[in-house]
Amino acid sequence: MSHQCCRKQKVKRGLWSPEEDEKLIRYITIHGHGSWSSVPNLAGLERCGKSCRLRWINYLRPDLKRGSITEKEERIIVDIHRILGNRWAQIAKHLPGRTDNEVKNFWNSCIKKKLIAQGLDPNTHNLLSDYNYKLNHENNACKPSYHSHQQPTSTVTVLNSQMISGISSTDMKAPLIPFPMIPHAPDNNPPYLPLLHEFPSILTYEYQNPKTQAFLESTASQSLVGSSVPILSSTSHPSEFGMFDESCMWAGGYEPIQSMIPEKRQVEQQVEIEKITSELASVGQNMDASFETSNFDFAESTLLPCGMYYNQSSIDQLAWDSWALQEKK
């Protein structure tokens, strides 16, 4: 028991009783918490200040949302986690009424397993290597097997599930690279995510795997209507493309993506934009990340691993924030 705040008094540990809750609620409602270390004494509790703080923040606060995490909240968690990693407090800020502890617990007990079941590494959101191996030894690799997977946790996982189920693992190396791996721009400027058109060589890659070709052709008849889908081959995949994943290339590197985004998703795009704006605000960047979706120029956009287009400035900003955080460490 090394907390400074609980040196003096005998402190109780373990679960809180309703009586203790009531004391804490009454005290904080009237006086506010002030210095947490003084709360136990003033509220008549045999707890340390730290324990009081935690109990209030995670359980007693009146603005907490009760009930289980919704599908939408789950998707937000996955999307932001893909970008920010285990920064639970940051993630929780996007979910009003949810605590970092709640998000963390939900991640560990639920989302993590779903991602693993879908063959994704929950830490990196990349394909798991043994999943690759398994896929590589399956005969029915051409059939999109979305329905055989668990409920998707987000749009991008659907996408990935569809893609990976039809494509040999040899073509699917390290599909998702999280932000922290964004390289520094020259002169130590903020990291820069190039626009798609600045990768002219992408278009020169040719798809080599007949299985993938077959899969794409079958998919094209459903969701990529009338579009040709250039695919790059990982055998000639240059490492400089680290910040893109191949499925993003497939999904977003080319014109056809517009027909791949379901209408519902386009509507949700606005929500995502608001999310980004709020994300930027939370790191002290009060810029507007929004852009006119009707005028949105896909050729001038980059597809982030979370499966959404963002305009370059918001991407740069996120990249910069992520980079700055890394530099700080």
In the complex with DNA, the residue whose CB is nearer, 5 or 243, is 5
CA 273 to chain centroid: 14
The one-letter code for the residue type at 256 is: P
Interface with DNA in residues 165-184 (CB under 7 A): none
Q: Which one, 24 or 306, has the nearer CB to DNA?
A: 24
Shortest Cβ 119–DNA spacing (Å):
18
Neighbouring residues of 119: CB distance < 8 A, sequence distance ≥ 6: 127, 128, 131, 132, 134, 135, 161, 164
Determine if 15 is a binding residue for DNA (CB under 7 A): yes
Residue 284 as a binder of DNA (CB under 7 A): the answer is no
Question: Contacts for 66-71 with beta carbons within 8 Å, 24 or more apart?
Answer: 69/98, 69/102, 69/106, 69/110
Cβ proximity to DNA, 92 vs 306, nearer residue:
92
Q: Is 109 in the site for DNA (CB under 7 A)?
A: yes
Q: If you search the block for the tokens 């005969």, which residue do you land on?
A: 139
Residues in the chain: 329
Kindly write out the interface string for residues 31-50 of this chain, putting x where it contacts DNA by CB under 7 A and - elsewhere.
--xxxxxx--------x-xx
Q: Helix (H, G, I), strand (E, B), or coil: what is residue 150? A: coil
CB of 75 to DNA, least distance (A): 17
Bridge partner residues of 303 (DSSP): 309
Can residue 326 be called a binding residue for DNA (CB under 7 A)? Answer: no
Number of residues that bind DNA (CB under 7 A): 42
Least distance to DNA, CB of residue 76, Å = 15
Spatial CB neighbours of 147, under 8 Å, sequence gap ≥ 6: none
Structure token digits, residue 41: 């004494």
* Tokens linked to 116: 């693993």
Q: Which stretch binds DNA (CB under 7 A): 4-12, 155-163, 223-231, 265-273?
A: 4-12
Binding window for DNA (CB under 7 A); candidates: 30-38, 173-181, 195-203, 305-313? 30-38
Pick one of 25, 46, 59, 220: the residue that binds DNA (CB under 7 A): 59
Structure tokens at 50: 């730290």
**Which DSSP state fits 60?**
I
Which residue in 23, 55, 98, 114 binds DNA (CB under 7 A)?
55
Please tell me whether residue 219 binds DNA under the rule CB under 7 A.
no
In whole angstroms, the minimum distance from the beta carbon of 49 to DNA comes to 5
CA pair distance 210, 21, nearest whole angstrom = 64
* From 86, 151, 204, 236, residue interacting with DNA (rule: CB under 7 A): 86
Q: Is 100 in the site for DNA (CB under 7 A)?
A: yes
Instruction: Answer for the pair 201, 208: CB distance below 8 angstroms, yes or no.
Output: no
Q: Which residues touch 300 (CB under 8 Å, ≥6 apart)? A: 195, 197, 311, 312
Least gap, CB of 55 to DNA (angstroms): 5
Binding site for DNA (CB under 7 A): 1-5, 12-16, 33-38, 47, 49-51, 53-55, 58-59, 68, 86-90, 100-102, 104-106, 108-110, 328-329
